[in-house]
Amino acid sequence: MTRIHRMIAAVLFLFLALPSASSMAATEETNRVESASEVLSKAMEIPESAIPPALLADAQGIAIIPGVIKVGLFVGGQYGRGVLVVRGKGGAWSNPVFVTLMSGSVGWQIGAESTDFVIVFKTPRSIEGIMKGQYTLGAEAAAAAGPVGRSVKASTDIELKAEIYSYSRSRGLFAGVSLEGSSMQVDDKSNAAYYEKEEVRPSGILSEKGVRTPASAEKLKKSLEKYAPAATKRGP
């Protein structure tokens, strides 16, 4: 093999070994979906402080926002990017739709902190609001800090009247937290990168028409099926 042939072979090897631009662009989104699966598993691993299975059984949607950054110096705020999954008519979970979560606060505060959030939606109303654009939690539907523990039964607890329940996980501790007043909206740029399709709409992602389902999305849906099984597969 001549020197020129060796150079051509080396260039071809490097070209084939390098990931495509689209796959490189989707790496961050893939990591986010994988982190969401991990956050859900961590949130459910200790029964005494987990999201009540009865609440998850009735969930119409679940948003998981890993690594939300909270910073503050007199005026503080939180910002994070994650995913929202919706239960379909047959009870199965949808492909993830990428969303952003933002909130602000005023007061004496300093420092930075990373927190994972899990938000449970009991009705489709709030989910429909998010899909239409920016949605403020608690503005049109009651939002509250979520209860914890397997002993909580949604069918008998008269206090579970809110439509949105939120939880946080920081420094290994998991607890209910109020995110009322925070805004959530669809992250179109991340959706386009993850599904490798420009102008992809949330409705297309949820219906799975014209979009592929990445391996990381399948993993997340399996995790959801484990902790929040479809209606047709729920136990007595």
pLDDT of 111 reads 55
pLDDT of residue 73: 54
Q: Among 54-58, 82-86, 107-111, which is the least confidently predicted range?
A: 107-111
Give the span between the Cα atoms of 97 and 191, in whole angstroms.
7
Contact (CB, 8 A) for 170 and 113: yes
- Angstrom distance (rounded) from CA 89 to CA 96: 16
Give the mean pLDDT of 171-178. Answer: 85
Evaluate if residue 228 carries a pLDDT over 60: yes
Band of residue 9 on the pLDDT scale cut at 50, 70, 90: very low
- Which residues share a beta bridge with 169? 116, 174
Encoded tokens for 158:
């008269």
Q: Where are the alpha helices (H) located in the chain, listed in sequence order?
A: 3-17, 21-25, 27-44, 53-57, 124-132, 188-194, 202-207, 215-227
Cα separation, 181 vs 179, whole angstroms = 6
